[in-house]
Structure 1
Amino acid sequence: MPLTVPPPSVTVVLDPGDDAIHTHTALAAHHPPSGRITLHPGPGTTSETGLAPDLLVALGKPPLLPGRFPGGRQPAWEAATAWLTALPVTRLTVLRAHRLTARRTMRLL
């Protein structure tokens, strides 16, 4: 009988005012060894694929993966998913999350 692991709980807190105090607090809380990751999405990107390298950087991993990959593969997301599973991440804070498209939000979740 396969073991099933319940999905982690998710808390979403939005700061549509981009309050500087919240941003500075989130950045100061970033500490990967303690499982606290603050994702700062790069400005000007709206693609779902563009969020994965930002997540890899937040995890302290290289954002660009060498090699060639077959069409339809998203190696940056595969790497980000693997690292999120392997590392003891307990809190992921996303700055300007209210500006993410629905597709990017769902992919991140």
Structure 2
Amino acid sequence: MDRKQSGGEDVSPAQAVLLGALAPGVNGPTWNTLKVAFLLLGLCLAAMLGLAFSSSDSVLVLHVAFLVLITGTLFLLLSRFLAQTGLVSVEQQMQEMGLAPKHDGERSKKSN
């Protein structure tokens, strides 16, 4: 069974997220990590909003509601932007940063 490995198949998800933070574009693992971070931020803000309502402090409720609005707007804008531009593959990011391993065909061309 002849199996070709591209440069990104042996990259761990943590390395892909780090690569996505440093290289141009957004790869799939980085976007998934951002979605999880926004989900956890939303849960924390929902808990804060519940506590603000229980304290009956209108200034605190408005403040936390504004934070929820900012978070939701940021997530929607990021989602719309990535829907228009698309995701970049990890292999492409590795090539742009010069981290991709050289293929055997490229080596033989350079040596001739």
Q: Quick check: TM above 0.5? A: no
Q: Which has the higher contact order (CA 8 A, sep 6+)?
A: 2
Identify, as 1 or 2, the structure richer in strand: 1
| TM bin (shorter chain) | under 0.3
